[in-house]
Amino acid sequence: AFHLPLLAPLAWRRWLGRRWGGLLRRTEGVEPGPGHPQPTLVADAVRGIGLYRANMLDRLLRPEPRYARVPVQLISPLRDRFVSPALAGDLERWAPDLRRRTLPCGHWGAVTTSAPRTAELIRTFIADVEAGRARAAG
């Protein structure tokens, strides 16, 4: 649906933007609060759809090997209804220095209800990568 011209942006502007807080509550157990959802939600969502359009379809229609030559951390919400674990099954082939982490939340939980834990995983990953570089240089 993200690739249908005008449909996804129109849906966000006319329908999803006003209902997003309730949808998150019902599907993910995330309660709306002060500053959440942000007033920029619709504009942010439309820009995000543009990222999907720019990166997904062309890669699916014309696949080619693309390797990550840097350390990669994959943080997977265990109750994600939109991105199945099978999509990340063979990533070590493309990202040889892959570190997998999981969170006990849904799709949006990594940036809402589990945001502090997500931030800690990111801080730890960065510290580990920087420590490895320091050891290699020293």
Give percent of the chain with pLDDT exceeding 90: 33
Give the model confidence (pLDDT) of 18-33 as tens digits. 788 888 888 888 787 7
7 has pLDDT over 80: no
| 3-class SS letters over the chain | CCCCCCHHHHHHHHHHHHHHHHHHHHHHCCCCECCECCCCHHHHHHHHHHHHHHHCHHHHHCCCCCCCCCCEEEEEECCCCCCCHHHHCCHHHCCCCEEEEEECCCCCHHHCCCHHHHHHHHHHHHHHHHHHHHHHHC
Mean pLDDT value across residues 92-96: 93
